[in-house]
Amino acid sequence: MALTVYNTMNRRKEPFEPLDPPNVSIYVCGPTVYGHSHVGHAKSYISFDVIVRWLRTRYNVRYVQNITDVGHLTDDADEGEDKIVEEARRRGLHPMAVAELFTRSYLEDMDTLGVRRADIMPRASGHIPGQIELIKRLIETGHAYEVNGSVYFAVSTDRGYGKLSGRVLDEVQAGARVAIVNEKRDPRDFALWKAASPEHIMQWPSPWGMGFPGWHLECSAMAMKYLGETLDIHGGGLENQFPHHECEIAQSESATGVPFVRYWLHNHMITVGGEKMGKSKGNFILLKDILHPDWPVHAFLGRKYDPLVLRAYILNSHYRSDLDFSVEGLDAAEAGLRRLHTAVRLLRQAVEKAGEGEEHGIDLAAVEEAFTAAMDDDFNTPQAVAVLFDLARQSNTVVESGRRVSRAALDGVDGLFRRLGGGVLGLIPDQLKSEGGGLENGLLQLLVELRQTARKERNFALADAVRDKLAAAGVILEDRPDGTTWRIEG
């Protein structure tokens, strides 16, 4: 059994062989922090969260994800304004205050979604000296040139340019743009360092005068600082393949002379209602629209959703599939997740009550093997989720049979739910909501027992009233041969 991953560079699935096993290095482009995160961010970072969680079951992983807080311009052709500076002016804030505000917002959303934080989360503005060093190296080796305090990468010096995306800058487009940035020797060249005008707030001293780094260069410098000159995996959204990742490869490999990345992994995108998400279209959905109880209800959604529902929805499709975001899809994910959680809750209630007994008869090894085969096949999470549902069906059958199954055996089933459904996919919390910790659990148990007493005393009116009142509050009681269980609806 071996892990295979789809390598965008070669456009095929390949066996995954890290450079220095059992160590694995992975870099994923982080957000540019000039606004709240949207559903597209959730798809990207939940996908890589699960990829990293799966890698960690076998390897020592070092996961680096940057925060871009300077240098990401509104225009790919090195013109336009820094996205953060633009937002800062709109809000009347310092750019670093904007970066801090949206870094916190991003982390809050990701924590809510159960996305584990990367091992290292470097900020671009904190790594200026390393970026300057990399630019110096490129100038010394003849791959970059300085003009008027800006430094550009000379694409003509890199024979491999275009190998990731299969693209080079369109000649017509380039012709139009060269008129704008006429200091470039070749329209395909891109900025490594930009000279800053005196009023520009985000600027640092460099050998070429005051300025700020280019976005592409930041990622190369931070990735190589923490992971070395060759990374095992570089991840990111498909929209960053060109020009961002193409430029990362060009400048890194030109500086070091060794391959920058062994495996390129790209997640596909989210559309909303069949259309590209756009602020003007009314289909722009922020994570806080879905998750945050204090934010107004978004017209497209009509209500709020549990973070795990969004997580399940995203993992129900493959990371390399496009996902058309819809309320129907969310609702279906919610219903599925509820079935899964109900099965786990009933199982855990059965564990509590069980003692000595027989085996359950579920082939746990086969379940784990099927799950592993799915995840080893380029992180096929929809297939892995299906394996969990199958386990849930088998678990329900055992719990509902009324057989006396031993506590240890039932515990084994729960252990697999925790490890695969919780540890790897992050869909089954250790403490399910309606297990409710001590108090809620205790109170519900008390009501169940009072109702049983009422039935024993043939006070069926009271027993039914307890059941109906609980049902109205969303707690469903189920009388089984071995006693009464409860579950919370919705």
Q: Could you list the residues that contact Zn ion (CB under 5 A)? A: 29, 219
- The three-state DSSP-derived secondary structure of 56-107 is HCCCEEEEEECEECCCCECCCCCCCCEHHHHHHHHHCCCHHHHHHHHHHHHH
Buried b (16+ CB within 10 A) or exposed e, 116-143: eebeeebbbbebbebbbebbbebbeeeb
CB of 223 to Zn ion, least distance (A): 8
State which residue, 41 or 311, has the beta carbon closest to Zn ion. 41
CB of 53 to Zn ion, least distance (A): 22
End-to-end alpha carbon distance in the chain: 39
CB of 56 to Zn ion, least distance (A): 22
Distance, in Å, from the CA atom of 251 to the CA atom of 153, rounded to the nearest integer, reads 7
CB of 201 to Zn ion, least distance (A): 23
State which residue, 113 or 221, has the beta carbon closest to Zn ion. 221
CB of 30 to Zn ion, least distance (A): 8
CB of 54 to Zn ion, least distance (A): 22
State which residue, 214 or 426, has the beta carbon closest to Zn ion. 214
State which residue, 29 or 454, has the beta carbon closest to Zn ion. 29
Distance, in Å, from the CA atom of 313 to the CA atom of 154, rounded to the nearest integer, reads 43
State which residue, 219 or 343, has the beta carbon closest to Zn ion. 219
Residue with tokens 């990731």: 164
Question: CA distances (Å), 468 to each of 71, 385, 444, 465, 475, in order?
Answer: 61, 34, 14, 5, 9
CB of 4 to Zn ion, least distance (A): 25
Cα 352–Cα 358–Cα 360 angle in degrees, nearest 5: 75
Distance, in Å, from the CA atom of 282 to the CA atom of 474, rounded to the nearest integer, reads 34
- Residue 402: both structure tokens together: 């009324």
State which residue, 72 or 348, has the beta carbon closest to Zn ion. 72
State which residue, 206 or 220, has the beta carbon closest to Zn ion. 220
CA-nearest of 398, 391, 401 to 364 is 391
Distance, in Å, from the CA atom of 293 to the CA atom of 330, rounded to the nearest integer, reads 17
Contact 308, 337 (CB under 8 A): yes
